[in-house]
Structure 1
């Protein structure tokens, strides 16, 4: 299953969510129109070191 995921082949969403959880990650689903705002906020937090405040 991990090999399929790494190679971009079809996997069950439940398996993807388990892998993300195992890596300490989460998936956020938002409208496409909001994605640039979130990317900008993440870039800003990365540059300013604000990630620590989110933990």
Structure 2
């Protein structure tokens, strides 16, 4: 699969275009951080809070 992606034969680009069209984005993080992000998203969903993300680039 990785070889296909590297050679432009994968479907990732198409999936990203569809996600963009739907107003979605993909965040790739280390597996160790996933539970923390899932917990934060669940909390925001329960409380009705909107998350504000700031880029420090």
User: What TM-score, normalized to structure 2?
Assistant: 0.68
Q: Which has the larger radius of gyration?
A: 2
2:44 touches 2:51 (CA, 8 Å); kept in 1? no
- Alpha-carbon RMSD: 6.3
TM-score (ref. length: structure 1): 0.70
Runs of 4 or more above 4 Å deviation: 1-10
Structure 2: state its 5+ residue gaps.
Answer: none
The alpha-carbon deviation at position 51 of structure 1 amounts to 2.0
| Greater fraction of residues in helix | 1
Count, aligned residues: 52
* Structure 1 unmatched runs, 5+: none
